[in-house]
Amino acid sequence: MSPSRSRGQHAGLEPTTILRAAIGLADREGLRALSMRRLGAELGVEAMAIYHHFPNKDALLDAIVGELVVEATTGRTSPGDWQDTVRGYGVAFYDKLTAHRELVPLVLARPAMTSGNLQILESLVGMLCDAGFTPEYALDMVYAVGGWRWCTPPSPRAPTPRTPYREIRPVGWQRQRTTRC
């Protein structure tokens, strides 16, 4: 309990405040330093105040993943050109994870299915279906772009200019699955 509050007084925390503090703590001190007690100290509250918003640490970790995904892709879609949209999704996701390197293992290990993540996925798949891809292939494309970004090491170089997508054709392609990077 903060010295400025009396017992039973609401801490005034919001989930977004908690998430930002958790992400900041992990960025500075690493994912291992992220505990409910340490996060509470960071926010100036008892750890139990965090449980009012997140029932357990797993829920907090899932929310962190969801927050990073939504932040990375918000406002990144451009109507009309599916190639630029898919490229923008991949680059934005990569940039967000590069900015939060300590959280990459968390994002890889926890495919949080939040409403925000599902809306992004649905939007991308819908846009690709509108471009002529089957829903199954569109979903594979979204996962492939995300997977490719996970497997691409960070580079200090500037991104290369747009490369034409000669190999990708809407409809009629056979699915090919890869299981490793």
Could you state, in order of their start, the residue ranges of all structural domains in the chain? Answer: 15-55, 66-151
The pLDDT score that the predictor gives to residue 45 is 95
pLDDT in tens, 79-96: 568 888 888 888 888 888
Q: At a CB cut-off of 8 Å and minimum separation 6, what does 159 contact?
A: 91
Name the amino acid, one letter, at 60. Answer: L
Q: Which fold has domain 15-55?
A: Arc Repressor Mutant, subunit A (1.10.10)
The pLDDT score that the predictor gives to residue 11 is 60
Assess whether the region 15-55 and the region 66-151 belong to the same CATH fold.
Answer: no
When mean pLDDT is compared across 35-39, 68-72, 109-113, 167-171, the lowest value belongs to 167-171
How many of the other CB atoms lie within 10 Å of CB of 161? 5
Q: Residue 67 and residue 158: Cα distance in Å, rounded? A: 26
Q: For residue 46, which of 78, 2, 16 has the smallest C-alpha distance?
A: 2
Torsion of CA 127, 131, 132, 138, to 10 degrees: -40
How many of the other CB atoms lie within 10 Å of CB of 150? 14
In the chain, the percentage of residues whose pLDDT exceeds 70 is 70
Tell me: pLDDT of 19 over 50.
Answer: yes
Is 23 within 8 Å of 64 (Cβ atoms)?
yes
- How many Å is the maximal CA-CA distance in the chain? 67
Tell me: pLDDT of 174 over 90.
Answer: no
Of 16-20, 101-105, 124-128, 143-147, give the range with the top mean pLDDT: 16-20
When mean pLDDT is compared across 8-12, 119-123, 132-136, the lowest value belongs to 8-12
Residue with tokens 């699915």: 175
Q: Is the pTM of this model over 0.75?
A: no
Please state which CATH number belongs to domain 66-151. Answer: 1.10.357.10
Name the amino acid, one letter, at 45. Answer: V
Tell me: pLDDT of 8 over 80.
Answer: no
When mean pLDDT is compared across 94-98, 113-117, 160-164, the lowest value belongs to 160-164
